[in-house]
A and B are shown apart, each in its own frame.
Chain A
């Protein structure tokens, strides 16, 4: 939504055309040119170019380095990630159950897309207070911080205006979050204590594919207020076991 115009919903035709343009780029594949999009949709060229520029401005589309071709933008992953069904292989669930048997803390699995995360396997004995809060408030959870630390610039994913102060100890300023994410990158794992709910702490360890991509996270939560660092090693071993199963 643009800051000045707001969303009026009075241009249904324009929205339809914009979605058709997005679809045309998705079908044609990366590198399709503006003229090809206009021809395939039988839109007047000036209209097609305007819609393409709007979608590029909103980052749903990206202009490739030759400035002629278009590709789907990273932001599309956020749309798709939120609705795609998730399948966790049963072998992975077995590995998680193993860890749950060994540690006295909540163990959860989250899966990542390029721009979002989803809680896909919650500890049945010690469930999260709210999985949707974990998925939404990336700055205040260990799982979210792993995702933010992975971004070249976290502000593109989470505008600083959305750094909600959920508890008195939430990291809610851009500068403090910068420092916090630097720490995550240096250490390789993330933590938070009492920033989402008072008295609850957690840590998260990354599960990476063979190419180093962040695919999932093992989250260990504790209701005793302190970050459960004693579970770091077991969580790391679990993440190493999960890597071949999830990527």
Chain B
């Protein structure tokens, strides 16, 4: 066997990010503080008294898929993350389906977070509602600059923003808990309501949406200092930390909302309604959520660009997407290709008269479908991958199949039941996008089958990574 002189994904800045910076990628794409204030109240309405078990079950589901991902991340340093992992288990067609779905997920969540950041900046400074579209443009440009300028800059920025925003949201929740002393309000029957199995299932589906993006550290295989150590650790620990934060936030909201009137529980962000009248708490919360959303924009854009970068290097998308910036070592062509789309879609929706909240929630729903299908496929790919390389043991076989089945159930409940914001209309939007992806895969299979063979590039061993003399090498440069 002869090793190549250079990695097929060379050009990205190599081995720069420390473990906290790799973790920041996963945490920022997950946007914990925004999820902490929005998701528990939604689960509460669906699952009532079973809210905490539903969120705990969602955490377990995410831990399961995180563990499946770590089986890949221990063995290969990828740039396409879940997409590249899937390729090693399911082959090109399965990988492209998962990769397309994941790209839809990253793109839609970036749009959602852009609108979210704009919305909270508007609320913070009391700007006119019409300025949301302008702010989306500005924040999109700022995110573009951060992501092109270098992965280290955007990772450090995300780390700082996340620390600030999680601290702010925790502080606000604690302050509200300390101040709370009222008796049961009109929302109490809903908060303490008995939930049937369907209510719990819907609660779990809503709960898992809070975690999406945790897998995106998988796109830093080249840029992390010790990728085969840092990336598996990040995908295993992010759900643990996020799950703990969500459980605390959910418990706090159960206590707080039990004392609240019913119409407050049904408002878009009940915690904001609670904090609003209490001095500066409302403003602090706005700052926390806006920063978390902005970090989510950069995190999701970074991940999306790296998936497309991998596809460009493989040749299944135009090779130009596989170019990297000479000085910053970022996939700047892929970034430049996606950023206009990420900004244009929400701006057009807003200009067409859609409410900002509806855009925020709708794009989030579409992204959730995208992630869930990618998780189903990668869980299924894990045992197949290990069997192919002769390292299958009982635990990954059982874990992988269980994860795939459970996540498939999540997908079915989400698509068919319409529990997510926007209902079944958005299921149709996602399915249409999926059909576009299937047509693309079909075209590649029929017309460009040779390109499919290249799917699955990763930062593989080169002649400089093995002990000199242990393998025959080609002529030296």
Contacts and interface: CB of A to CB of B under 8 A. Distances in A.
A binds B: yes
A53 B1 contact: no
Contacts, number: 102
Given A35-B390, A69-B1, A57 B228 contact: yes
A212 B468 contact: no
B333 interface: no
B471 A30 contact: yes
Contacts of A56: 74-75, 228
Given A53-B228, A67-B389, A74 B464 contact: yes
A62 B388 CA distance: 18
A153 B15 contact: yes
Interface in A43-63: 45-46, 49, 53, 56-59, 62-63
Given A46-B395, A57-B226, A65-B461, A155 B14 contact: yes
Interface residues of B, number: 35
B440 interface: no
Contacts of A46: 393, 395
A74 B467 contact: yes
A241 interface: no
B178 interface: no
Contacts of B277: none
Contacts of B475: 211
A33 interface: yes
A104 to B, nearest CB: 36
Interface string B377-403: 000000000001111010100000000
Interface string B1-34: 1011010000000111001000000000000000
* A: contact size bracket: 35 or more
Interface string A60-94: 00111111110111101100000000000000000
A53 B393 CA distance: 14
B467 A76 contact: yes
B460 interface: yes
B476 interface: yes
Contacts of A23: none
Interface of B: 1, 3-4, 6, 14-16, 19, 74-76, 88, 225-226, 228-229, 388-391, 393, 395, 460-462, 464-468, 470-471, 475-477
Given A59-B465, A64-B461, A72-B470, 5 more contacts: A30-B1, A46-B393, A64-B3, A71-B471, A77-B468
